[in-house]
A and B are shown apart, each in its own frame.
Chain A
């Protein structure tokens, strides 16, 4: 199956926890936003789980603002929004800093 490449930019404490601001992810052609996030979590071998996932729902939307090409994913199909080659994700922690 053909693959696509997506860039993910981490902001807030996620940047600190991931150790880098940007990372490129390779995914299957029919990947959705949650696949990209799962791939990011796997790449960090658990180090990002507590920063990114709600401990009860295991969802990243509770505490993180997720934008796809500048659009908040809640304005699209949420975590089920399909990804395309060259897409840019931004993950910004909501619950930090006053």
Chain B
């Protein structure tokens, strides 16, 4: 038997006197009925004002972190999920005001049968609808191995660790192939706050002080930017729903980095009872980050020639580790 549903809900997020059984008028336009209550700001928004506010927030984020030039060629990492597709829609809309700017979608096929096939097909369909060029490259092509093979292999680390490192490398490779000068990813406010808190819990001060949504110019890397970093995932989901675009519905079969899941649950609960918590965590991490312009000294990987701070890059370390751990992995 299922447990009784808990009632920690909107009714505890605001004073009960503020709530009604019908939708109040939109705080911004004062004309249309609101459909969404934004607990961290107190706004009640209609669909039009909600979507406009999200676009304006992305524009402000781009300006604040000096993410783009008027003629930037931006590779947008599109996984087929709601966040990256939402970002692609908004950037495509912003791009229309900048005739010299260009957007190209890039997707990585990690090789997860069933899951990634669906996502790539959704990404391709969205790019077709938006008239955006789309490049897909695969783990198999770049590293000679799929995520399904990695997941089935003898390994010391979680599948998400391999996927994260290799996907990061693959996205950079894809962005270079399309000759982009920026690589935009759909990291949300939730992702940023989770990463910041994870770094605190792991005692990783160096990573905690490297939260830079505007990215850095590092030799061998396309500058990575996160224009969606101040959009809560809940609002990204609502935007996808209101826009009515198709997005991936299957969960990844390998998902489940235990510590991140714990942090996600904790932050989501705090956000319900203490609205604005995620912004506070994210902004605290931003305050700890030095001003842009400081660069890390980079060398090249002795195995693949890609840029790295060590002698062998993390991607090569992981692939070599898999091969060394048994004939099953060769």
Which residues from chain A sit less than 8 Å from chain B, CB to CB?
Answer: 11-13, 15-16, 34, 37-38, 41-42, 44-46, 48-49, 53-63, 65, 67, 70-82, 90, 92-98
Minimal beta-carbon separation of A24 from chain B (angstroms): 18
Q: Which of B13, B186, B188, B191 contacts A74 (CB 8 A)?
A: B13
Q: Which of B5, B7, B20 has the most CB of A within 10 A?
A: B5
Minimal beta-carbon separation of B215 from chain A (angstroms): 17
Contact B251 A62 (CB under 8 A): no
Minimal beta-carbon separation of B125 from chain A (angstroms): 15
- What are 26 A-B pairs with beta-carbon distances under 8 A? A12-B237, A13-B249, A34-B5, A53-B3, A53-B6, A54-B268, A59-B9, A63-B268, A65-B238, A65-B241, A67-B35, A71-B33, A74-B10, A75-B10, A75-B23, A77-B10, A79-B5, A92-B241, A94-B268, A96-B251, A97-B81, A97-B249, A97-B251, A98-B83, A98-B188, A98-B191
Other A-B pairs beyond A74-B13, A98-B187, 18, CB < 8 Å: A41-B2, A41-B5, A54-B265, A57-B6, A59-B272, A61-B8, A61-B9, A63-B265, A70-B35, A76-B22, A77-B20, A77-B21, A79-B9, A80-B7, A97-B248, A97-B251, A98-B81, A98-B84
Contact A90 B241 (CB under 8 A): yes
Given A74-B39, A81-B21, A95-B233, answer yes or no on A58-B241 (Cβ-Cβ < 8 Å). Answer: no
Minimal beta-carbon separation of B235 from chain A (angstroms): 9
Contact B35 A97 (CB under 8 A): no
Contact B21 A82 (CB under 8 A): yes
Q: Does B297 contact A (CB under 8 A)?
A: no
> Which residue of chain B has the shortest Cβ distance to A33 in the bound complex?
B9
Q: Count residues of chain B with CB under 8 A from any CB of chain A.
A: 52
Contact A80 B265 (CB under 8 A): no
Interface 0/1 of B70-107, CB less than 8 Å to A? 00000000011111100000000000000000000000
Contact B269 A78 (CB under 8 A): no
Contact A77 B19 (CB under 8 A): yes
| Residue numbers in B under 8 Å from A72 (CB-CB) | 35-37, 238
| Residue numbers in B under 8 Å from A95 (CB-CB) | 190, 233, 264, 268
Question: How far is A72 from B234 in the complex, measured between Cα atoms in Å?
Answer: 11
| Residue numbers in A under 8 Å from B2 (CB-CB) | 38, 41-42, 44-46, 48-49
Judged by DSSP, the binding face of B is loop
Contact B249 A79 (CB under 8 A): no
| Residue numbers in B under 8 Å from A70 (CB-CB) | 35
Which residues from chain B sit less than 8 Å from chain A, CB to CB?
Answer: 1-13, 19-24, 33-37, 39, 44, 79-84, 186-188, 190-191, 233-234, 237-238, 241, 247-251, 264-265, 268-269, 272
Question: How far is A29 from B324 in the complex, measured between Cα atoms in Å?
Answer: 65
Question: How far is A93 from B83 in the complex, measured between Cα atoms in Å?
Answer: 13
Contact A59 B6 (CB under 8 A): yes
Contact A16 B249 (CB under 8 A): yes
| Residue numbers in B under 8 Å from A75 (CB-CB) | 10, 23-24, 34-37, 44
Q: Which of A55, A60, A71, A80 contacts B11 (CB 8 A)?
A: A80
Contact B23 A73 (CB under 8 A): no
| Residue numbers in B under 8 Å from A92 (CB-CB) | 237, 241
